[in-house]
Amino acid sequence: MTIRTRFAPSPTGYLHIGGVRTALYNWLFARKHGGQFILRIDDTDRQRNVEEALRPILDGLRWLGIDWDEGPEVGGPLGPYYQSQRVDRYRDAVERLVASGGAYYDYAAAEEIQAERAEAERQKRTFRYSRRFMAETVADRRRFEAEGRRAVVRLKMPGEGKLIIDDAIRGRVEFDWANEQDHVVQRADGSFLYHLANVVDDRDFQITHVIRAEEHLSNTPRQAFIIETLGYERPAYAHLPFVAEPGSHTKLSKRKLNKYLKDRDFAELLERGRKIAARIGHPLEADAFNPVIVDFYRSVGFLPEAIVNYLALLGWALDDKTEHFSRPELIAAFSLARVNKAPASFDPRKLMAFQERHFHALSPERKVELVVPFLEKAGLVQSPPSNERKKYIENVTAAAGDRIKVAGDILDSDDFFQADDRLEYDEKAVEKNLGKEEALELLTKLRDRLATFEPFTPDALEAMLREFVETERIKIGQLIHPLRVALTGKSIGFGLFDTLAILGRERCLRRIERALAAAGKTS
């Protein structure tokens, strides 16, 4: 039998990091076993704007390389893949449920159920519906309806015995049927509830392995009951622990951004993103721009393979040492048996570490490709850049080296892309490094040397500068720092000899000239 797994997002407009992990594990499991991964849309509640609300989710999954064999946009033989279009199937199932005695029409009003529940609570006993308004015959139905009552359809749970689930992650889990309620499967308005739809769809789509979040573990009995009553075969189950908040075991939620901001690492991550987003005109509204949402990472230049690698290890491990996985390695190594039972908390710092590792391993050409869109959006290079310009970008990127951790970090080196006469100077840096008369004198002397020095390469420039400071009887730092500020406007940046060489003689001279003039004016 071919293995088939599924992920069933609701069209909320966001792809949650926890959801991604669930999708990823489903995907990995299917790929590992040469099976299929199906995407089904859980839109029972929303009729409007489904496409729009789905867009970020589909885009996010594709960006991460989690592709689906059947589902929206790709179709498939077992469609439709939207629950809102499958109500006939649900109606059918409910009819069969009732016909087989596994479910009944119930005419109790919501308040009447509520009252029974309250009474049970008062008596400190487990609530079970009395079935007082259960209609067993057509005559019953007519009578209740004559009273103006409307029916829901409830499951007629066994009430005794045990259900045993053999969960791929948790092992054997037992439930007492006596603890299970007569859950509603069809509302008074005729619409269907999730558990019913879920079971029917899993069956229709021939899902063999249900891999989902642990919040569904307690719901499994009622689904198992429907499955059994309908005569379906029960799929294998694997209940994944939550992705939890940083430093806690509570489920990660996109709504608690303010709380997470108290976590230093989380705040730093968001800050890094905001800095980049502001430069490229990406909307910053808190809702979508949030490290709990995948879109955040895409928009600031994270690598999908880094996110996937990190998420794969968040709750799963191959052994005691392997951390870095390419996608094929991940597929080969993955197994449900090695998924952890306990919730794993999301660690922004560690995510960053994976990102750095993957990014640094990239070829120079690839880095340029990734970095260019950010320069374009920030208006620092023309779109598309010329080949010559690309070469220049590559030089800057190479010199920046490990300082670029996500593609958007290229904007920290904006000084290399600004026109010489438009370069902005950091006030403090100028004050500190270009405030003294000696510094200006040194720069003046150096400018004259630079004007004719050949060749203008990092090594040659370094030799020249070292010799220069020796004759001036100063430490190299005394020259380098003022020079850096003059050239880049900043006190931090990458290797100074690289900086000189990348900018080239003309631009260096112009920038030094301009800095001297500016410093002279202010002092």
Partner RNA sequence: GCCCCCUUCGUCUAGUGGCCCAGGACGUCGGAUUCUCAGUCCGAAAACAGGGGUUCGACUCCCCUAGGGGGUACCA
Binding positions for RNA, 390-419, rule CB under 7 A: 401-403, 405
Q: Within positions 118 to 177, which residues make up the interface with RNA, using CB under 7 A? A: 121, 124, 126-127, 150, 152, 170-171, 173-176
**CB nearer to RNA: pick between 35 and 247:** 247
Q: How many CB atoms lie within 10 A of CB 459?
A: 10
By C-beta, is 390 or 481 nearer to RNA? 481
Q: Does 256 bind RNA (CB under 7 A)?
A: no
**How many angstroms separate the CA atoms of 320 and 338, rounded?**
12
Residues 210-249 that bind RNA (CB under 7 A): 214-219, 241-242, 244, 247-249
Token pair listed for 247: 């430093």
Measured between alpha carbons, how far is 178 from 129 in angstroms, rounded to an integer? 12
Options 31-39, 137-145, 413-421, 493-501: segment touching RNA (CB under 7 A)? 493-501
Q: Binders of RNA among 429-448, rule CB under 7 A? A: none
Given the DSSP bridges, would you call strands 4-7 and 209-213 parallel, antiparallel or unpaired?
Answer: unpaired
What track of x and - describes contact with RNA for positions 31 through 70 (by CB under 7 A)? -----------x-xx-------------------------
Binding footprint of RNA, residue count (CB under 7 A): 83
Burial of residue 400 (number of CB atoms within 10 Å: 0-12, 13-18, 19+): buried
CB of 188 to RNA, least distance (A): 4
| Per-residue CA distances from 124 to 2, 117, 120 (Å) | 48, 10, 6
Given candidates 10, 36, 229, 290, which one binds RNA under the rule CB under 7 A? 10
Task: Give whichever of 173 and 389 is closer to RNA, judged by the CB atom.
Answer: 173
Distance CA 242, CA 244 (A): 6
CB of 502 vs RNA, minimal distance in Å: 13
Beta pairing class for 344-345 and 236-240: unpaired
Q: Which is nearer to RNA, 249 or 366 (CB)?
A: 249
Task: State the Cα–Cα distance between residues 61 and 39, nearest whole angstrom.
Answer: 10
The reply on whether position 115 binds RNA by CB under 7 A is: no
* Calpha distance 476→486 (Å, rounded): 16
Question: With binding defined as CB under 7 A, does residue 338 bind RNA?
Answer: yes
Query: What is the footprint of RNA within residues 263-322 (CB under 7 A)?
Result: 313-317, 319-321
Which is closer to RNA, CB of 118 or CB of 284?
118
Q: Which of 342, 361, 451, 474 binds RNA (CB under 7 A)?
A: 342
Binding segment for RNA among 86-94, 190-198, 292-300, 443-451 (CB under 7 A)?
190-198
Nearest CA to 346 out of 266, 258, 261, 262 is that of: 266
The footprint of RNA on residues 355-384 (CB under 7 A) is: 356
Tell me if 477 contacts RNA by CB under 7 A: yes
Judge whether 445 counts as a catalytic residue.
Answer: no
Q: Is 345 helix (H, G, I), strand (E, B) or coil?
A: strand
Long-range contacts of 51-57 (CB under 8 A, 24+ apart): 52/13, 53/11, 53/12, 53/13, 54/9, 54/11, 56/13, 56/14, 56/15, 56/288, 56/295, 57/9, 57/11, 57/12, 57/13, 57/14, 57/15
Structure token digits, residue 455: 């060749």
Least gap, CB of 34 to RNA (angstroms)? 24
How near is the Cβ of 85 to RNA at its closest, in Å? 14
CB of 251 to RNA, least distance (A): 5
Q: Rounded to an integer, what is the distance from CA 390 to the centroid of its chain?
A: 30
- Closest CB to RNA among residues 267, 390: 267
Can you tell me which of 53, 193, 423, 502 binds RNA, judged by CB under 7 A?
193
Across the beta sheet with 103-106, the strand order is 134-135, 103-106, 152-155, 184-186
CB of 383 to RNA, least distance (A): 28
Instruction: Return all residues near 25 (Cβ < 8 A) that are at least 6 apart.
Output: 211, 238, 240, 316, 334, 336, 339
From 156, 254, 377, 405, the catalytic residue: 254
Residues annotated catalytic, as ranges: 254
